[in-house]
A and B are shown apart, each in its own frame.
Chain A
Amino acid sequence: MRVYESEVPGVGRKFELELTGGKSAVVVVHHDGRCELFRRDGPDADGEKILDLKGEQANRLGSILEGAYFESVDVDSLSVPLGDAIIEWIEVVDDSPVAGTTLGESRIRTETGTSIIAIQRGEETISNPPPETGLEPGDLLVAVGTREEQAELDALVEPT
């Protein structure tokens, strides 16, 4: 992936980003912050203007593309390190053995050693859920534990 940069006298700078299949994206950044975005569908194609942005809009778009504005995450592989323990998210699916039981009945803590520190249910978050909290399909369990404990939790919650 190469970027060619050149100066446009009196205007600003031009950046050309090679994309796959001979396509390229061209960005012209003006001195006043205005940004024009073009696409070219091949070496013989003419540039087609997609966007003409004011400086602020360009920065906002840029930060979205950069991932700084909203980082898309793969929930399945998300983990937060806490010494040996990590925090993981696991979803209770419809036919999970623990669906329809309470946190106490599911014996998650005694069987796997992980603690459920929160349950995400739709828009609401139940933090520090007591043992009598019911587990419903679609719940997202936030669990703390070592990798081994997390693996056991997976085995317990996943449908067999």
Chain B
Amino acid sequence: MAAETTLLEVGVMFAAIGAVGFLAARFDLSPIPFYIVAGIALNESVLGAVDLPAVSASEFVVVGAELGIVFLLFFLGLEFNLDRLLADKERIGRAGVIDLVVNFGVGLALGVYLFGEPLPALLLAGVVYISSSAIITKSLLDLGWIANPESSPMLGVLVFEDLVIAVYLAVVVALVSGGGDAWSAARAIGVAFAFIALLLVLVAAGTTLFERLLDTPSSEYFILRAVGVTVLLAGAALAVGVSEAVAAFFVGMAFSATEYVHDLETALSSLRDVFAAVFFFWIGLVTDPFVVVEAAGVVAVMVVVTAPAKLLSGFFGGRIYALDDRRSLRVGLAMVTRGEFSLIIAAVALSGAGGTLAPETARTIYAAAVGYVLVMSALGTTLMGASGWFERFVTTGS
């Protein structure tokens, strides 16, 4: 494809992202589902169907989406606070394990029921297990719940989920990109954990190295070095069949031990925002809306089963923090929100199409996950906003 067409398409993409972001701000909603819908609206199967020039999933968009995943997870690692987790390990551990057992369990059962195979079930379990850190944190701020006790179990469980998802992604990416039989799966997981072990050593020993690397008064050199290290390691991980997201997470963790955390957040957050939006747009761009409609039944079952599951596990998480019923209910309502990580898992499923996953199965998981996130990101935010209505049922005469 000639560069000028590509540039025009990329321009159309960014303009669309900017336009729907404006809409999201008007209605005070999370922009994530808007970016996805923009991608769907401009893709081959929608615009192409009415003979308009569609935005193609060009190499730039694909790599941009990849960078979006890398920066999202890099920030997760950067802001991952191990000390906090350890300081409150008793409560976070209990609330986090309930959250994991209930929702991952429900997801596995649902996956086995729908697909009858272990790998699709494992992917579906991940999609429905992980709540959205980004959307929930934003809602906490918007509603002012951040000042209330219910914010502690929410943020605590989210930190726990972040750690679980790092390990989960490592395993699942290895399984999906592996050969399919038990031996090659075991080998892929072995490579993944060896790589993670290597990264952990890097985290532990590399702090001084990273400090030295980032020690420059020039903001230009600073951002370029940080991006250079992060993208290089993520790319290296992907090249040996390990999840680039997990690698980025650990690189972020390594940087979080340095004194430059704050500078990194300031310097890289706009880069993250740009590429994360490209990632969500790309998710929509490779989504065939007709397949989503076909998967509507699957999405409906997922929503009906997993929304109450999160509500329940969140409620008990709140109880572990000794909150009253009203506040515990709020924890449950908030945790219903799913978002960016479910989409990353959806992208993993898509990458296995025709390999370890039957193309049909991979497409169904992907389309169902996209539909599911569109519903759950809106549903969770709505439930949080309407919590007053639900709280009437549990008000304990306070």
Contacts and interface: CB of A to CB of B under 8 A. Distances in A.
A43 B149 CA distance: 9
B147 A7 contact: no
A6 B4 CA distance: 50
A9 B137 contact: yes
B95 to A, nearest CB: 15
Contact of B147 (A32, A44, A47): A47
B144 A38 contact: yes
A11 B147 contact: no
A153 interface: no
A10 B80 contact: no
Given A31-B262, A31-B265, A10 B148 contact: no
Contacts of A32: 266
A49 B84 contact: no
Given A9-B137, A10-B75, A10-B133, A44 B324 contact: yes
Nearest to B87: A6
Contacts of B145: 46-47
A3 interface: no
B158 interface: yes
Interface string B136-150: 010001001111110
7 contacts: A9-B81, A9-B158, A10-B134, A28-B146, A36-B141, A46-B148, A47-B146
Nearest to B146: A28
Interface size class of A (residues with CB under 8 A): 20 to 34
B147 A9 contact: no
The secondary-structure label for the interface of chain A is strand
A28 B147 contact: yes
The secondary-structure label for the interface of chain B is helix
Contact of A9 (B144, B148, B155, B324): B155
B398 interface: yes
A89 B284 CA distance: 75
A109 interface: no
Given A31-B266, A47-B148, A10 B79 contact: yes
A32 B158 CA distance: 22
B166 to A, nearest CB: 14
Contact of A6 (B84, B144, B148, B262): B84
A56 B393 CA distance: 43
A26 interface: yes
A8 interface: yes
Interface of A: 6-11, 14, 16, 26, 28, 31-32, 36, 38, 40, 43-44, 46-49
B30 to A, nearest CB: 14
B148 A40 contact: yes
Interface residues of B, number: 28
Nearest to B147: A47
Please indicate which of the listed interface residues A8, A16, A32, A36 has the most CB atoms of chain B within 10 Å of its own CB. Answer: A8
B155 A48 contact: no
Given A31-B265, A48-B144, A11 B137 contact: yes
A26 B79 contact: no
B262 A9 contact: no
A28 B146 CA distance: 8
B156 to A, nearest CB: 10
Given A9-B79, A9-B80, A31-B265, A46 B133 contact: no
B81 A26 contact: no
B144 A10 contact: no
Contact of A44 (B79, B81, B398): B398
A26 B148 CA distance: 9
A7 B79 CA distance: 9
B386 to A, nearest CB: 15
A51 to B, nearest CB: 12
Contacts of B357: none
Contacts of B137: 8-11
B159 interface: yes
Given A26-B147, A48-B144, A9 B265 contact: no
Contacts of B79: 7, 9-10
Nearest to B388: A46
Interface in B121-167: 133-134, 137, 141, 144-149, 151-152, 155, 158-159, 162
Please indicate which of the listed interface residues B147, B158, B266, B269 has the most CB atoms of chain A within 10 Å of its own CB. Answer: B147
B396 to A, nearest CB: 10
A10 B146 CA distance: 13
Given A6-B152, A10-B79, A40-B148, 18 more contacts: A6-B84, A8-B146, A8-B155, A9-B137, A9-B162, A10-B75, A10-B133, A10-B134, A26-B147, A28-B141, A31-B269, A38-B144, A40-B147, A43-B149, A44-B324, A47-B146, A47-B148, A49-B144
